[in-house]
Each structure stands twice: as C-alpha cells, then as structure tokens.
Amino acid sequence: MAADSMEIDDALYSRQRYVLGDTAMQKMAQSHVFLSGIGGLGVEIAKNIILAGVKALTVHDTKQCTKWDLGINFFIHEDDITSQRNRAEATLHRIAELNPYVHVAASTVPLDETTDLSFLKQYQCVILTEVSLLLQKKINDFCHAQQPPIKFISADVYGICSRLFCDFGDEFEVLDTTGEEPKEIFISNITQSNPGIVTCLENHPHRLETGQFLTFREVNGMSCLNGSTHQITVVSPYSFSIGNTSDMEPYLHGGIAVQVKTPKIFYFERLEKQIRNPLCLVADFSKPEAPLQIHVAMLALNHFQESFGRRPNIGCLQDAEEMLKIAMSISETLENKPQVNGDVVKWLSRTAQGFLAPLAAAVGGVASQEVLKAVTGKFSPLQQWLYIDMLDIVTPLEKMGSEEFLPRGDRYDALRACIGDSLCQKLHDLNVFLVGCGAIGCEMLKNFALLGVGTGQDKGLVTITDPDLIEKSNLNRQFLFRPHHIQKPKSYTAAEATLNINPYLKIDSYINKVCPATENTYSDEFYTKQDVIVTALDNVEARRYIDSRCVANLRPLIDSGTMGTKGHTEVIVPHLTESYNSHRDPPEEEIPFCTLKSFPAAIEHTIQWARDKFESSFSHKPSLFNKFWQTYPSAEEVLQRIKSGESLEGCFHVIKTLSRRPRSWTQCVELARVKFDKYFSHKALQLLHSFPLDTRLKDGSLFWQSPKRPPFPVKFEFNDPLHYGFIVSAAKLFATVYCVPFTEKDLSEETILKIISAVKVPEFRPSNKVVQTDETARKPDHIPVSSEDERNAIFQLEKSILSNEALESDLQMKPISFEKDDDSNGHIDFITAASNLRAKMYNIEPADRFKTKRIAGKIIPAIATATAAVSGLVALELIKVVGGYPADAYKNCFLNLAIPIMVFTETAEVRRTEIRNGISFTIWDRWTIYGKEDFTLLDFINAVREKYGIEPTMVVQGVKMLYVPVMPGHIKRLKLTMQKLVKPSADKKYVDLTVSFAPETDGEEDLPGPPVRYYFVQEDN
C-alpha cells in the first residue's frame, strides 16, 4: 500500500480491510511508529503492526543477542549469537520481509535520561518495552506535551506478569468506537406521544443502547421523522423512545431506523499521575482486586531494579522480602492505598528474570491493536492499564526447590525461570496435534517452537495438518508465509518455517482434512498417541467433529477462533470440563425463500439472490447438464427413450439448455441482455400484476408495507455503468460455461453496443403463477414438468439433432466454481451488478463491490493482532494442561480488542447424568465389554447388566439400530453373534455402541447411557 498513491492492495489486505475500513487503512499507511526494545514482547508488537501496514517503523535496541533470546524472540537465530549482533540489526530484515509496503529501520543509539527526545517528533506513536520506569515517565511527558500529542504506549512482561499502559493525550477523538456495522431496524409502529415510542417488527430485537443516535427513512404518515436524527432511550428489547412525537402526523406504516455513528472523545492522564491512581481494565471478574495488586507488585519490581541495578535473583527469598517491603511503602503513596498481596509480590520476584513467550504474544496482540487505534482513531482505546498474569500456575510450583528454576545455559532458561525444569521437560516430551495452519496455526507453531514443544530426545512430536494452499491474502496474518510460498501447501511450508525458529522441533505435516473420510489416517490409535489436540479452525462443523473424536479417545482439546477483533479460547479437559459439543450456538438465521425470491428488504437479501443466481446458472445447471449426458451418451438415444414414454430425470431442463445454447460471443451478449429484462423488469411487472400496489390483506392492511417493498421495473440504459457491467460480466460467464471463445475486441463498448442494438427482447406477458408469500415455506426440490413441456422437449431435441447441434461437443459444459479472491474472473463483478440492479428495482440502498464480496464470499474479517493474542492465551493454557492442573486453574477467554474487553472465565464443570439407582455417567465415561467369537447380542446385554448393574433395552451402532425390542424381528437378533450383527472389518478390534435403558415409569423416554466399547475378543493385558 504505497502511501503516495493511497491504493490499498486488496489481494493482500482484503481480510483486514473488513476489520478496519479504508479510511483507517489509509491513515495507517501514512503513520510513522517508533518501537524501543526488540526482545520477546517488542518483536511480537513489531510483527503485528508491520503485517497491519503502517508506513514506517523504527525498531530501537542497544542489546546484543544472547542464547536467552532464542527462547523468546522468534526472529533471532543461533548465528546472531555467535556473531554478537545487536538485536535490532539481527531482526531487521526478518521483520521487514513481513510486508514490502512498510519501511523498517533499525536504531542502536543509546536512549537514556540524557537523550534529547526531539527526534521523536517525527513519529505519531511511540512504544516502549524493556525501558526503566523513570525513562518511561520522561518520554511520556515529552509525548503528552506535543501538539498534537504523540501517542504513547509502554508494555512489559516480567516472569508470569505483564503490563500495558496507554496515553493518547488529553483528548483523543474516535470516529468509530466499535467497528460494528450500523444497525438497521424495521419499524412496525410509532406512538403519537411524549415521548414517542418506536416498536420494531415482531421477533426482531433492536439490540440498541440508551444514548445512541438513530436517523429515520421511509416512514409513512409521520413523514417529518424522515431524515431527522434522534437520541434514543431503550424501553424494551423491541422498543425505544425518541422524544416528543405528539404534534406529528399519525404513523401509518413502514419506516427504517438507522444507527448513526457519533464521534467520542477519550480523556487520558500522564503516566506519572496514572501510577498513583490507575484506571485498569478488569479481565477476570472473579479477581477484581488483581490488577491493582499486580500494579503495586510491578512498581515494587521497578523500584528494586532502580535501587539494585538488577532484577531479583531467581528463587531468592531475601530479594522477595526486600521487594515486599518496597511494595508496602509504594502502596501507601497510591491514592487508594491498595492491599499488598504477598504471594503476587513473591512470585513476581521469583520469576522476574524469566519470560513467558505466550504471555508476550497475548499482551503483544493487545498492544499492537492499541498502536493501530493510536494512528487511525478507529476503535475505543485502552484506558489506561491492562494487567494479564499467569498466577494460576504457581500453586504446584511452590513445592519445587529453587534449583528447578535456575538457568542451564540453553534456549529455555527464560521459560525455566517461570515454570521450572520439570514442566519444561514435559513440554519437550509432548505429542501435540495441531489442526489448521492458517493465522492461528502459524502463531501456535511459533509458540510451540519457543516453548520447545516436541523437542524431547526420545519423546515428543508436533503433528500438523491443513489441506489448503497459501494465497496472497494469507500473508497479511499468517506470518510464517512469504510471497514466494504462494500456491504451496500451508502445512509443509509452516513446518519448514517453524524449524527456522527452533531447529530441534520434531514435526510431521499432513495435507488431509480431519473428517470422517480420513479416519484411517486419524484413527483412534492416532488420537491416543497425542497428549493434547489444538484446533486452529474457521468453522463450527470441523470443531464439533474433532471435539467428538477427543471425547471418544479421552484427549484434552484447546480450541480458539477469531472474527475481526473478537476472539475466544476454550479449554476442554477429560473428566474435568464440558466439551465443545456440550453447548450449541443458536443456528444462523436463514433468509426465508420467499424473501429471497420476491420480497427482499435489505442489501443482504439481494446479494444472496445474486450469489444463488451465479451458483444456479454457472455451476449447478452446467454440472447437471454434464451428469445427464454422461448417463445418456447420445441425443438420439435420449430422443428414442422419451418418445417411447420413458421419463428421464432432468431431461426437460437439459434439452431446454441444449436448444438455447449460445454458440458465439454475439449470442452470449444477447442472452445476457434478455436475462437483464427477465430479472430486473419482467419480475417486477409480474409481482405488480399478482399484487397491485393497492392490494390489501384480510385485516385491511396494505400488502406492500414494511418490510415488503414494491418492485419497479428497471429500464435498460446502455450508458448506465451498472447496466453495462451486468451485460459484460454475465456474457463473459455464459461464454465460459458454454465454451465460447472471445477476444479483447469482443469486449469493446463498440462491439457490445452493436450486438445489443440488434437484440429483440421478448415482451412481458403476465402469468398466473402463484407467488409464495409464506415465510416458513422452503424452496421446492422439484418443479413438476407438464405434458406440454414434455412434448415441447421432444420437438426441441429433434430440431437440435436435425440442425447438427446435438453433437458430442454440444453435450458438454464447463461448470464454474465460485472464487471470490480472483478479481480477474468476473465472479464478484457479476454478483455486484446483479445484486445492485435488484436493489435498484426494490429501492434498497446498494452496496459497493467491497461489501458485496464480503457478504457473497462469506469472508471472515481477520487481523493479526487478535490472532496473536488468542494463540498466546491458548499456549498459556497448554502449559496448564501439560502440568495436569486442577479444574479451577483453567481459564476460557472472550476478547474484543476494539472495545477493548478481555474476559476470563472458569471452564464449565462436567455434568453428571443420573440413570437410576445411583448409577450415573459423564460425557467422558465409557463402559467396556470384552467378548469372544461366539458372543451373542443377548450375551452382550447380560454382560452390561452384570458389570454395571443395569440392563440395556436398546443397542445402537452409529445410526444403525441393532436392537430395539418393539421393532419387528429384533427379538430374534438376541441369538445372533455380535460379529454377524456388527460385521466389522478384519482389522477392527472393537466397536463403539450406544445403549439406553428402560424408564422407571411407563410412557417416559428411555434413559440414556454412556458409550459402550465392545471388544470382539478379550485383549491380552
């Protein structure tokens, strides 16, 4: 994104554009940022803001690379240490190649209390890491005093605690505080009263907040509201008040209220003042006192450093005592005199020399988003402190001797100082299966490499899989990939890049999808070899499937995901927590068929209609056409069979397509022109014929009232770019599916105009078709073919054969697969033109190509900041899973960096289901029965009763009912052997069955039971 042209490289930035918007992207592309300290936290921030696309970044550092850095900075390599390179110079070219549009420079000059700070005036934002508190205050004062203020951010990770501080000047204006699309609310009523109460359409809650502003349009009756803006007060989920409407005309019908985004001013105080009275974001509401306690502890650490010129020694009780004294005296100087938590101070002291790389990833993601807010004014800034800690891990570490935490002279010394050597070894010996190597997957692999996951001498392996190839749009977030990797498999490339971070990692990469079809690869045996499964997926269906495999094989699972600035993490631990499938989000609301077909009310409806038209015309119909002619190889044979009265499925539509097949570019353009009138003129005329504008319902109300919008035919105008755009894009796609060649000259305006001028468009003739108005009705699977249509088909096919237009080459089409990211293929061009023409027909606000692409392509907005934060939090939970921590140590997280909020919650405790007589089970329980060759179904039922004290009344295998007593013939099955009933493959040692039990009272449903794993023969112990 070159700043001089302000062109945004959509191929690279498309997913991020949907998060930030173009205005913010362009502001970012003009911003200069200064970052001091390129250690583990600095490199995270640098990575994220370079991927985002600032104009220029200066990275400043005065330290040399050491062995220690290998475990915290993923861009420092062994040769940087042997060459004794400066950290900024060593990482410069590696961070610079993340984004060719960003100018990255290194600075190695000292930055201390004597430095003249005027050089900072060239920057819009200054970020400090690993800088003394005294110097932070001095630089903050300088930045705050500038006009306009230089936005100031400081961040640090010390051992198991992290701190982030922001100061964007006395007043900081934000144009869009949330980044959410403005809400549109369809109105059903407005009262004539003071205040006037606005009620929404039934079952459509407004989701507004008191104090927000709305503007009105298309209100009938109370028309003076149209175009006016009102501040609202929420009355209920379906109504709100807008001030005095008693003198207005009575409301009749219709109307849309649209949310108006209003700028907001945020006020900041300098670091010096905020230290004494900090304003903190609370992330864990079970510990609201924690931020202040960590605030005091970290200030004590800063004072300790200033007094002794060093951090407290690892595990040194004397230093911890000294720090506790300092904390006590600091607490007295703060306005609220917060209580000092001795454990927090002690553990910060014990681990302060260490560094948790995943904690840096989490706080680095949040800090980077604050940088983007600082330079763009988009989203609500952090006010003003955030503390994220890992204090949940300390309890088991209490019992370890201090030698566990001491350095060994390897790359894991910083980690060892935080979690001890035993836990480090467990991480090295870990077998982990990572599903997905996209944005979260790349970040997770970086975290694995820094933690030394899968590097054990005898044990430990990282297995990864991803079926996708790398595309240019991935490079904006998936930081292990570079332009020369485009079109290479993600998993192989990610594995190779991870070995650059830590060459001792053992990694196996696959390119299969994880789904029922690949259970030979990802078998039960495969899962039982894994210690933990980590998902980095972008869809719920895949998550549900992997969760079910983890539950079946009693494996821990850590799931995460992002959408724009939002993210979540979830920890699933056998026998302790619920699983992913234990809770279900409500299904996405589908647009009713009649709304799409005849009554669109919003641009989303017209975009979905256009997307469906694309699928039907250019993919579905050509595929059915090809399939038909693969089944019936010649037109003559088909003619003979339908003449003899045979009914061939799909034959009428296939013959219709064949008889109308365009055979030249001219005919493709003609077809597009005819379709224009069919879609955007005749459809409107037909609806108005079926339902004239004055049509009333049984209750006397108008048929055409909100949300139904009457259509008006669109008259074709060659000079209208929208009309012309539809003709060209449709003609090109028709030419592609019908294998018609075309040239650049064919696409010229002159050629198109000449063809269109000669087209005779069929006149509209109204039909008596029934228009579906029932919102619950679904799209019919098959439209019956009349006998007249059948006779017509015979005539058309005879004509095609006689004209030599049913040859082998005529019986083939080329279906098109929708591809949203290739701008040269015309797919989004067609959908944008078709959608906006339909919107025009229904008087709906159109959408630009950019918005259309997001909705039609179901693009998930994404940004590196949220991805980095989420993956860091996952890696922190991984440490707890590996350490075998109790249930209350695990934390799920929901975050939205835009607002910003970060909420940690305890995991949901696993529920126990009672069967009866004290017999119960959880999702993690599995009963086991060992059989033998002649074991019958009755033997199986008896074995369950004898072993578990309850007799099954129903036995099911997957979807196959093996034994349901009320079903005919099932009683006879009791004598059949399990081998015969189940029919296992030769290598199958067991089968998982579902059993249920008779209810205590007749008429009630059967009682569920846990899965029962039946082994066909007794296993050798």
- The edge-to-edge listing of strands for the beta sheet with 385-389 is 103-107, 56-60, 32-36, 125-128, 151-158, 161-167, 385-389, 280-281
Q: Is 832 helix (H, G, I), strand (E, B) or coil?
A: helix
Q: At CB < 8 A and 24+ separation, what contacts does 108-117 make?
A: 108/60, 108/61, 108/62, 109/60, 109/62, 110/62, 111/36, 111/60, 111/62, 111/135, 113/138, 117/142
Length of the chain in terms of residues written = 1021
Structure tokens at 556: 């821990």
Do residues 489 and 466 lie in contact, with contact meaning Cβ atoms separated by under 8 Å? yes
Query: DSSP assignment, residue 253?
Result: B
d(CA 926, CA 913) in angstroms, rounded, equals 13
How many whole angstroms separate alpha carbon 378 and alpha carbon 366?
Answer: 14
Kindly give the residue spans of alpha helices, DSSP state H, lying in 245-316: 271-276, 290-308
Task: Give CA–CA dist 892/907, Å, rounded.
Answer: 6
Strands 1007-1015 vs 927-930: parallel, antiparallel or unpaired: parallel
Give just the sign of the alpha carbon dihedral 369, 485, 453, 553: positive
C-alpha–C-alpha distance, residues 743 and 110, integer Å: 63
The CA-to-CA distance between both ends of the chain, in Å, stands at 65
CA–CA gap between residue 226 and residue 809 (Å, rounded): 58
Backbone angles phi, psi at 432, to 5 degrees: -130, 140
CA 754 to CA 32: how far, in whole Å?
53
Q: What whole-number distance in Å separates Cα of residue 535 and Cα of residue 922?
A: 23
Enzyme catalytic residues: 594
* DSSP class of 826: -
Looking at the DSSP assignment, which residues form a beta bridge with residue 394?
A: none
Question: Which tokens belong to 184?
Answer: 């549109």
Q: For residue 363, what is the enclosing H or E element?
A: helix 357-376
SS (H, E, C) 646-663: CCCCCHHHHHHHHHCCCC
The SS3 assignment for 824 reads helix
> Residue 890 pairs with which residues in a beta bridge?
none
Gyration radius of the chain's alpha carbons = 33
If one counts every other C-beta atom within 10 angstroms of the C-beta of residue 223, the result is 15
876-899 in b/e burial notation, b at 16+ Cβ within 10 A?
bbbbbbbbebeeebbbbbebbbbb
Interatomic CA distance for residues 675 and 669, integer angstroms: 10
DSSP track, 142-188: HHHHSSSPPEEEEEEEEBTEEEEEEE--SEEEESBSS-PPPPEEEEE
